[in-house]
């Protein structure tokens, strides 16, 4: 999960919309929590707009095309020329899909892993346009819910013949120059007369407000995703279609401010477990600013795994700070605020010269009704530990994450350098079995790290992501 981090007020390190309705997060430590000389400084604003009470979608799937591996990621041409994966126009240094309509319309479809019949589908796409192009859900070749960029206008609608302008391409955002990031929630509601209605809410770059709410009557009949370029040359990247919610409602935040793996694609459950452990090696890091780049693991109970809420979400990680220092912290699962183990909100950090080896664990102890967070830094012989009261259930999901915070960074992302890995990820199930989680458990999600970052675990994903060195 990813949230905005302000230098002194917002200091969160999460990755996707697990946000409760109307919650107001205070900066005070939760009563009963154990903070070793620390203070909670990661507070978040009030949040509204998410239906926390909604039942999990019975149909679950995720489809990803990031093109980092240089392949077409399952896209096939159905009209016009075959698309190309190119680095000539790139997304933060990474390849993109180029679609040309210089002579005729170009259309491409993909459906890898798609399951039909979901009553809620979320999608995202990054677009750099020198013409007109769109992305969306289709029934074979018939568009049902489309977003796109036509010249300098951001457009959306139920099909290509009924697009309306919902905004303009913004500038000066967290994204590479010339790119716009579009997200949409497409969902079914039932009126009092039992009539089913399909609606699409669209967001432009940020998620602090809905850019447009449109009727998309046929969206429930989706079978594929479509890229269609009708004029000029348009480039596409960071495509995700998922039954897990992507856009959320937080001022100053959007999902692509984080660089993580698994969250938006968390559409299958692990067996009930109570113990998550992982190891991290930090070979080197060099950052120009503290509190901006972080590395973490996450464990979620059933609520945190299946709903868009901060409840039931437990996170353990470190900020990678200047001068070989780290600042460890954890998230309690009651809200999206995090607690630093160190005094002064972790701002001083602790010296941990590379190579640094960390052992992380998040353990639910039912008999004691508590969760135990532990980070062991074997390089310097320090242990950071905290215990919080907990009366929830077992864990059912997890993911790992690297994250950079453009909201608060005074320097471009390329000036943050990192070389490290997370490995040995294991869960202990409620039946006492220890399972090693392979990289196939987590598909890549909005993972667009610059070449100055090197991930160990992420390159192993059998389902997509291979970091460009």
pLDDT-derived band at 308, boundaries 50, 70, 90: low
Give the pLDDT of residue 171.
84
Range name among 27-31, 259-263, 282-286 with the lowest pLDDT average? 27-31
| DSSP codes joined into one string, 20-63 | -TTB---SSPPTT---SS---------B----TTSPPPSS--EE
Q: For residue 259, what are its two tokens?
A: 């660089």
Residue-wise pLDDT tens digits, 446-468: 445 666 777 664 443 333 333 32
Higher pLDDT, 184 or 15: 184
Q: For residue 460, what are its two tokens?
A: 């192993």
Quote the Cα angle for 102-108-114, to 5°.
160
Question: Which H or E run contains 303?
Answer: helix 302-306
Domains of the chain: 62-242 (2.60.120.200), 255-460 (2.60.120)
pLDDT-derived band at 36, boundaries 50, 70, 90: very low
With contact defined as beta carbons under 8 Å apart, do 68 and 467 qualify?
A: yes
Give the pLDDT of residue 151.
93
pLDDT mean over 382-396: 94
Q: Is the pLDDT score of 345 beyond 90?
A: no
d(CA 228, CA 146): 10
Q: Is the pLDDT score of 286 beyond 60?
A: yes
Quote the distance between the C-alpha of residue 164 and its chain's center.
28
Q: Is the pLDDT score of 217 beyond 80?
A: yes
Share of the chain above pLDDT 90, in %: 45
Share of the chain above pLDDT 70, in %: 75
Higher pLDDT, 249 or 180: 180
Higher pLDDT, 115 or 65: 115
Range name among 59-68, 200-209, 214-223, 282-291 with the lowest pLDDT average? 59-68
Residue-wise pLDDT tens digits, 137-173: 999 889 999 999 999 999 999 998 899 999 999 887 7
Average pLDDT, the chain: 78
Residues β-bridged to residue 150: 132, 153
Residues β-bridged to residue 179: 128
DSSP assignment letter at 305: H
pLDDT mean over 379-385: 95
Q: Is residue 184 packed enough to be buried (19+ CB in 10 Å), middle (13-18) or exposed (0-12)? A: buried
């Amino acid at each position: 999960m990813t949230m905005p981090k302000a230098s002194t007020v917002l200091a969160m390190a999460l990755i996707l919309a697990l946000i409760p309705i109307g919650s107001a997060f205070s900066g005070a430590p939760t009563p009963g929590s154990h903070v070793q000389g620390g203070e909670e400084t990661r507070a978040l604003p009030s949040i509204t707009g998410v239906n926390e009470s909604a039942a999990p979608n019975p149909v679950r799937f995720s489809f990803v095309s990031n093109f980092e591996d240089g392949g077409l990621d399952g896209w096939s041409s159905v009209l016009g020329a075959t698309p190309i994966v190119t680095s000539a126009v790139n997304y933060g240094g990474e390849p993109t899909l180029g679609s040309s309509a210089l002579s005729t319309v170009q259309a491409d479809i993909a459906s890898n892993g798609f399951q039909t019949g979901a009553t809620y589908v979320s999608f995202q796409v990054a677009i750099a346009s020198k013409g007109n192009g769109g992305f969306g859900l289709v029934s074979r070749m018939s568009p049902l819910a489309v977003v796109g960029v036509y010249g300098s206008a951001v457009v959306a609608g139920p099909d290509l013949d009924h697009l309306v302008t919902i905004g303009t391409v913004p500038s000066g955002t967290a994204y590479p120059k010339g790119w716009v990031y579009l997200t949409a929630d497409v969902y079914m509601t039932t009126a009092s007369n039992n009539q089913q209605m399909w609606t699409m809410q669209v967001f432009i770059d940020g998620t602090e407000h809905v850019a447009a709410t449109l009727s998309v009557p046929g969206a429930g009949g989706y079978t594929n995703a479509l890229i269609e370029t009708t004029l000029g040359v348009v480039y596409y990247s960071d495509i995700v279609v998922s039954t897990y919610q992507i856009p959320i409602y937080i001022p100053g935040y959007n999902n692509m401010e984080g660089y993580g793996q698994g969250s938006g694609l968390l559409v299958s459950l692990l067996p009930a477990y109570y113990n998550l452990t992982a190891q991290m090696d930090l070979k080197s890091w060099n950052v120009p600013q503290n509190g901006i780049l972080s590395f973490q693991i996450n464990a979620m109970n059933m609520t945190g795994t299946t709903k868009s809420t901060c409840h039931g979400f437990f996170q353990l990680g470190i900020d990678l700070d200047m001068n070989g220092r780290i600042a460890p912290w954890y998230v309690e699962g009651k809200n999206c605020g995090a607690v630093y183990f160190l005094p002064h909100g972790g701002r001083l950090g602790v010296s941990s010269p590379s190579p640094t080896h960390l052992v992380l664990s998040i353990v639910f102890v039912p008999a004691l009704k508590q969760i135990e967070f532990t980070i062991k830094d074997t390089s310097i012989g320090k242990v950071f530990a905290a215990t919080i009261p907990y009366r929830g259930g077992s864990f059912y999901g997890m993911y790992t994450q690297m994250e950079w915070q453009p909201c608060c960074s005074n320097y471009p992302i390329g000036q943050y350098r990192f070389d490290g890995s997370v490995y040995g990820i294991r869960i202990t199930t409620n039946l006492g079995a220890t399972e090693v989680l392979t990289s196939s458990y987590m598909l890549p999600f909005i993972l667009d790290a610059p070449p100055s970052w090197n991930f160990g675990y992420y390159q192993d994903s059998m389902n997509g992501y291979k970091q460009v060195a």
